[in-house]
Amino acid sequence: MPLIDLSSPIDAEFWEPDPIKHEVLSHADGARHVISEMRAHFDLDLPVDVFPDGEFLSNDFLYLSAHTGTHIDAPLHYGSKASYGRPRSIDELPLEWFHGQGVRLDLRAWPIGAVGADALREQLALVRHKLSPGDIVLLHTGAERLLGSPRYFTDFVGLDRSGVDLLLDAGVRVIGTDAFSLDAPFPDMINRYHETGRPEVLWPAHFAGREREYCQIERLGNLGALPSPTGFTVTCFPVKVARSGAGWCRAVAFI
């Protein structure tokens, strides 16, 4: 069964608003490290030359946001409380949510900003897909081409509240995008807020999660590699970070 990786990497060389720190403990440093740890915790001695070439195992230490790389936003991310009850953290959600029939909708022709229910209806008709409960919808915005650069955070199209409602009304629990956010870019929303004076234009997709329990996958990758908009399943199990509002995931399509 062919597998297609739909994930973007966590890469400390990428430009990020909250930079990633990735410290590598080399194999040689790993040898010195394990020797001192064994001495400190268990009073055990090991000579460094017991390891081939003096090398033990490497290690990687990361300091990064849970919203780096491909990740799932949990209901807790959207607010401390929700109208439907207590918003759940990423470790509390049912795995069934993260395995389902996938459908890719093409939003690449839309300008920077947010699209709504009409655009989604149009795309669903184009790919002849009727949404079913548990479907995982993947929005192909094309933002991935800017990955690693500052423009990745400003040049993309998101969803407005009517778009989110259309999908959730059909029983969708997980909405994915290859962009930085499911909402419009921050500067676009803030400019529209200043133009209109309407606070509803600010983060409508995320704030919808204060009324309706659902997840987003952000920063997907490789959506163009799917051979067709339907006819695949998606698996995107989030890393089980206790009490976290988000968790990294490896999103994969099974054709």
Residues that bind Zn ion (CB under 5 A): 67, 73, 218
DSSP string covering 213-224: --EEEESB--GG
Q: What is the rounded CA–CA span in Å between residue 68 and residue 241? A: 14
**Strand 232-235 versus strand 99-106 pairing type:** antiparallel
> Using an 8 Å Cβ cutoff, are 154 and 185 in contact?
yes
Report the residue number, 123 or 181, with the smaller CB distance to Zn ion. 181
Quickly tell me which residue has 């460094």 as its tokens: 48
Across the chain, which distance is largest between two alpha carbons, in Å? 70
Nearest distance, CB of residue 151 and Zn ion, angstroms: 18
Quickly tell me which residue has 């509390």 as its tokens: 92
Report the residue number, 73 or 160, with the smaller CB distance to Zn ion. 73
Nearest distance, CB of residue 31 and Zn ion, angstroms: 38
Report the residue number, 31 or 234, with the smaller CB distance to Zn ion. 234
Report the residue number, 73 or 155, with the smaller CB distance to Zn ion. 73
Q: What backbone phi and psi angles, to 5 degrees, belong to 203?
A: 50, 45
**Strand 215-218 versus strand 174-177 pairing type:** parallel
Nearest distance, CB of residue 128 and Zn ion, angstroms: 31
Nearest distance, CB of residue 87 and Zn ion, angstroms: 14
Report the residue number, 209 or 229, with the smaller CB distance to Zn ion. 209
Strands of 69-143, DSSP E:
71-73, 99-106, 113-115, 136-140
Nearest distance, CB of residue 57 and Zn ion, angstroms: 32
Report the residue number, 129 or 160, with the smaller CB distance to Zn ion. 160
Nearest distance, CB of residue 247 and Zn ion, angstroms: 10
In the bound state, the residue with its beta carbon closest to Zn ion is: 67
Give per-residue burial for 177-209: e unless 16+ CB within 10 Å, then b: bbbbbbbbbeebbeebeeeeeeeebebbbbbbb
